[in-house]
Amino acid sequence: MLRTATPTTTGRRHLVTTDRSELKKSGPEKSLLLPGYVKRQGRGFKGHITMRHRGGGMKKKIRIIDWKRNKTDVVGVVKSIEYDPLRSANLALVFYTDGDKSYILAPEGLKVGGTVVSSVKAEPLPGNAMELKNIPIGVPIHNLEIRKGKGAQLVRGAGNAALIQAKDEKFVTILLPSKEQRLINADCFATIGQVGNQDWKNRKLGKAGRSRWMGIRPTVRGSAMHPNNHPHGGGEGRSGVGLKYQKTPWGKIAAPGKKTRDVHKSKKLIVKDRRVK
């Protein structure tokens, strides 16, 4: 659900945020926080900037999320739905019957007091996790493993869901949110349901300062730079750049349609590319 602000200032006039009234008001579960976290500010292990336009922002705490869901046949009760500043989806705090606690991504339809379980024979209900070979065809899933036991790597953003299209003995054909069809090992785990907080993509920040609170720094157009700083820079007046000659700041071709995928990726498991109409 979206909320619009009262236009008392220019920064609030166009502000549209997601409604957090049903989320937990107090802080996170302290036992599930990553200790000693320091912001990287877009820098790699050498201290050099490897991702531009990152820096500043509010202090954040990393929540430790259970991506593997390998606590099988143990029922957990959802104690709260919480906000996570480091991702688009909300989190569900789960208390298991054996005394353990964990965070999982909160799927659409999972409420406080509901139960979740990771099991071979689990029912296909939101929040339950099971192997792909046991999930019925057409059921929306998220938190999808690529390699068995490694933990979820696909379909983790707010509002996303994948669909099982077909099965055989070894592989399951999955339709991803990008419309790519991919084969994934049938023994890999996935979680039932669509990731919650669907309206996240429709929010509007309202002002540049809110972007800075999130740790995002300004982006300058290459055509506004000096030719020493960018391939698009320089020229008399407003010099445009043709689609054929679009480049990154380091001179690499960036024209639309230019293939940049690593040839060593798992290309052989793609049934239908996301670019194919």
End-to-end CA distance of the chain: give it in Å, rounded.
32
Give the pLDDT score at 218.
Answer: 96
Where does the pLDDT of residue 119 fall: very low under 50, low under 70, confident under 90, or very high at 90 and above? Answer: very high
Task: Tell me what pLDDT residue 266 has.
Answer: 72
Average pLDDT, the chain: 92
Give the chain as a DSSP string.
-EEEPP-SSHHHHT-EEE--TTS--S---GGGBPTT----TTB-TTSSBSSSSB-------PBPB-SS---BT--EEEEEEE--TTSSS-EEEEEETTS-EEEEE-BTT--TT-EE-B-TT--S-TT-EEEGGGSPTT-EEESEESSTTT-EEES-STT--EEEEEE-SSEEEEE-TTS-EEEEETT-EEEES-BS-GGGGG-B--SHHHHHHTTB-----GGGS-TTT-TT--SSSS----GGG-B-TTS-B--TT-----TTSSGGGEEE-TT--
| Half-sphere exposure (Cβ direction) of 160: Cα atoms closer than 13 Å | 21
Domain boundaries, the chain: 19-201
* pLDDT number for residue 245: 84
The residue-averaged pLDDT of 6-35 equals 94
Please tell me the predicted confidence (pLDDT) of residue 98: 92
Write out pLDDT tens, residues 143-177. Answer: 999 999 999 999 999 999 999 999 998 999 999 99
* pLDDT over threshold 90, residue 263: no
Is the pLDDT reported for residue 102 higher than 70? yes
Let me know the angle formed at the C-alpha of 247 by 241 and 252, rounded to the nearest 5 degrees: 160
For the whole prediction, is pTM greater than 0.75?
yes
- Cβ atoms within 10 Å, residue 189: 25
Q: Taken in order 47, 51, 57, 59, is the CA torsion positive or negative?
A: negative
Measured on CA atoms in the order 91, 97, 98, 99, is the torsion positive or negative? positive
pLDDT of residue 277: 65
**What are the backbone angles phi and psi of residue 168, rounded to the nearest 5°?**
-140, -165
pLDDT at residue 113, as a whole number: 94
Pick from 128, 153, 152, 122: nearest CA to 140 = 128
- The percent of residues above 70 in pLDDT, for the chain, comes to 99
Alpha-carbon dihedral of residues 204, 210, 215, 217, nearest 10 degrees?
90
Task: Inform me whether the pLDDT recorded for 261 exceeds 80.
Answer: no
Per-residue pLDDT of 39-87, as tens digits, reads: 889 999 999 999 999 999 999 999 999 999 999 999 999 999 999 999 9
The answer to whether the CB of 141 falls within 8 A of the CB of 162 is: yes
Does the domain at 19-201 match CATH 3.40.50.300? Answer given as no
